[in-house]
Amino acid sequence: MKILMLIKRFEIGGAEDHVLELANSLCARGIEIHLVCKRGRKISELHPEIKTHPVYFKNFLLPFNVLLLIRLTRKEKIDLIHAHQNSPILAACITGLLADVPVIATIHGLLKKEVGLEFIQKQLSKVIVISQNSFTGSQRIPLLKNKTELILNPLPGIGFYSEQYDKNRIVYACRVDRGHYSFIQLLLTQVIPLLRNYNKNISIQIVGDGNSFYCLKKTATKINSGFGVEAVQVLGYKKNIMEIISKAGLVIGVGRVAMQALSLGIPVISANRKHLCRIICSENYRYMRDNNFVSVDDPPPSRDQIVQSILQLFDRYEYYKEQAVQLAKEVKVDYDYDSDAVISKTISVYQSCMNTYAIAAPIASVK
């Protein structure tokens, strides 16, 4: 079996971690993997037998991307294309149509954003979703209703490692690109100064890399100069993010980062540039879990709302710490399952698509 995997970039991120683990596990099972993406730090973590092909996925480059993918698909005799994120999914669907191979997409974000086009919905052989909310949403879309599979991400290395944490340390991990940088700047230039008026010991660590990394470094240097101490640490790309998270008093994040923090019993505020802050607790855990730890029904956060949420957590820190420790047990139940079973299910989806496509293709040609 030969699989062509597509993703925009290969730096820090939930989708990137997912693809890294999936590609390595499939390769270990003897499946030939070709990974197409913009080069990033995670390339070095791939199984040595995985073949990588650098491509810059942008909408204005779509015709060139498709031509390259068709050529690669035919040259390597690809059996199936598995795409992640919106631009690669669109390119994969066009390539699948022209090169006559089945296409699967995994949805890491919003259904409407990643598979909203009717053409994409028709062209995809299967859709894999990683949250219950996405699966529920897919059942309301006629073209996706019967072709969607729910395969939750297993979380490796779950355990309780948070005994040596610093209550006053905040960790925020993300891709440091233009999209995320606006939220990081809000945190550093407006939120942290107000928090330090409340508590001079509060600090923040930013984990990640991307095209706005040097702008972030300059901003951090300027802020630290004003404080007279290193209240903002820019750590860049880190392979083992769990070790950093385990020493935090609070993690701000969504998706996989929030899941990882909760698994260690670290309090989490779910927030990004699109959706406002929620302290994850027993009352909202199921809602947050089913939405991949994103408060999808809420508007973008404001400075005051972020500050209010963080101060609320610090004012009742022992309570929210205990909540996080208790939620770690639920996370263990929800996500600590056999990763081999997840890979086997994914392979089964691949095989099913290939078999169905092989039967449907000659019928379509007769019509």
pLDDT, tens only, 182-238: 999 999 999 999 999 999 999 999 998 888 999 999 999 999 999 999 999 999 988
Backbone CA torsion sign across 336, 339, 341, 347: positive
Q: Give the pairing of strands 2-9 and 268-270.
A: unpaired
End-to-end CA distance of the chain: 29
Amino acid at 262: L
Mean pLDDT for the stretch of residues 296-325: 93
**pTM score of the predicted model:** 0.81
Q: For residue range 265-304, what is the model confidence (pLDDT) as tens digits? A: 999 999 988 888 889 999 999 999 988 898 888 899 899 9
In this structure, of 155-169, 240-254, 261-275, 345-359, the range with the lowest mean pLDDT score is 155-169
CA pair distance 190, 184, nearest whole angstrom: 10
* pLDDT reported for residue 261: 92
Q: What span, in angstroms and rounded, lies between the C-alpha atoms of 139 and 161? A: 39
| Rg, C-alpha atoms of the chain | 21
Edge-to-edge strand order for the sheet containing 268-270?
A: 232-236, 203-207, 166-173, 248-252, 268-270, 278-279
Q: In degrees, to the nearest 5, what angle opens at C-alpha 190 toward C-alphas 291 and 228?
A: 125
User: Cα(75)–Cα(161) distance, rounded to whole angstroms?
Assistant: 47
pLDDT at site 165: 87
Give bridge partners of residue 105 from the DSSP assignment. 83, 127
Contact 133, 154 (CB under 8 A): no
Q: Which of 8-12, 67-71, 159-163, 285-289 has the lowest mean pLDDT?
A: 159-163
pLDDT higher than 50, residue 362: no
The pLDDT score that the predictor gives to residue 283 is 94
Q: Which domains does the chain have, with CATH numbers?
A: 2-154+337-366 (3.40.50.2000), 166-335 (3.40.50.2000)
pLDDT band of residue 366 (cuts 50, 70, 90) is very low
Contact (CB, 8 A) for 57 and 28:
no
Cα(153)–Cα(13) distance, rounded to whole angstroms?
Answer: 14
Structure-block tokens of residue 152: 């939750």
Tokens describing residue 292: 């991949």
Question: What is the predicted pLDDT for the residue at 305?
Answer: 93
Whole-number average pLDDT of the chain: 90
